[in-house]
Amino acid sequence: MFYTSVLKPLFFKMDPEKAHHLVIDGLSSGARVPGMTSIMHAMYGVSPSPELSTELFGLKFHHPIGLAAGLDKNGIASDGFSSIGFGFAEVGTVTPKPQSGNELPRLFRLPPEEALINRMGFNNNGVEAMAESLSKRKIHRIPIAVNIGKNKLTPNELAHEDYMACIRTLYPYGDFFVVNISSPNTQGLRDLQHGDELRKLLGSVMDEMDRQGAASKKATKPILVKIAPDMSDDELAHTVSTITESGVSGIIATNTTLSRDGLTHSHAGEAGGLSGKPLTERSTEVISNVYRLTRGQLPIIGSGGIFNAQDAYDKIRAGASMVEVYTALIYKGPGLLRELTSGLKQCLRKDGFSSIAEAVGADHR
């Protein structure tokens, strides 16, 4: 209530990107104050419950609701996000070299549609800065995923070198990794989702992950691929086939969309990726198609337009083992996590399931 009645009106009077930085910097600074993460956890944390706990990729998750990439681009607020109720969190997207991203303004709210449009362009401080930030983590309550990308000036034929460089530097600090080849805001990036380019990229990525795993003398950490929602059925089938053959650990479906169907807000014409409620149905459809194409054998994390427990549950029944939120957090605040987890338990009980795992892919049975 405090967020929606007090903080949100203040934030929504501010420029969206300035509000974004205020939140991230505030969480980062607050987490360094003695006792503050305990207070945050008491206010917003989610109590573990057997029916929501999940084990995936060899990792344990208290519940299946995570934070999507894009909010904490430099990994400076991981202790804060670990304390407000998430089951896991992605940091990034990070690139080998620092880059400023696209020109301002590049982030837009569409309140009537409960949506955002962004064309940030992988603005981040680079892998060395993220490594320094993540090395200072004090709260290890949840798994942290590192979302990796390529620098804008790196040609696609050399993209694999950027992804490998990210892995080499950040491997010790992430619990799992995500290959971002689906942002619409870096020119040509989505071309990496197809054909020989995707095969070459994932082959190089898997080789580097195995090298790092061998060097650590532990099992190789999981790595997933994040895909776009805008592929045709044939494109999706070919992409999923290549991803499956590569041996990666899973798929995140989906990134933001270029579609503007049904939007009425004046910002609808802005270039960039659309997230939020307009993406709800399409992302669930892609999840269902990926589950069908992989026969349920490759874990999926669902992302796109999750605003309530039914949205999350629909994605789980469609085939997602876990889900992520971003835009709903902007519109509803950190109380969203308790709302979603409580609602998910009700959905499970209504359908006679005793665990999230039992509900995964239920619509296909």
Q: Which residues are catalytic?
A: 183
Which of the 8 DSSP states describes residue 220?
A: P
Question: d(Cα 284, Cα 301) in Å, to the nearest integer?
Answer: 11
Query: H helices of 67-173, where?
Result: 78-81, 127-135, 159-170
- Between strands 300-303 and 322-325, the pairing is parallel
Q: Which residues pair with 148 in a beta bridge?
A: 94, 179
Q: Are 189 and 154 in contact (CB under 8 A)?
A: no
CA neighbor of 340 nearest in space, from 312, 316, 303: 312
Say which amino acid occupies 25.
Answer: D
In the block, tokens 């917003």 appear at 44
CA–CA gap between residue 137 and residue 330 (Å, rounded) = 24
Distance, in Å, from the CA atom of 312 to the CA atom of 296, rounded to the nearest integer, reads 18
Return the structure tokens found at 152.
Answer: 């804008």
Please report the sign of the dihedral spanned by the C-alpha atoms of residue 256, residue 260, residue 262, residue 268: positive
DSSP-based three-state secondary structure for 131: helix
Single-letter residue type at 326: Y
- What is the C-alpha separation between 328 and 126, in angstroms, rounded? 27
Angstrom CA distances, 208 to 37, 86, 97, 133, 161, stand at 35, 29, 18, 22, 10
Q: Are 247 and 99 in contact (CB under 8 A)?
A: no
Rounded CA separation 259/177 (Å): 27
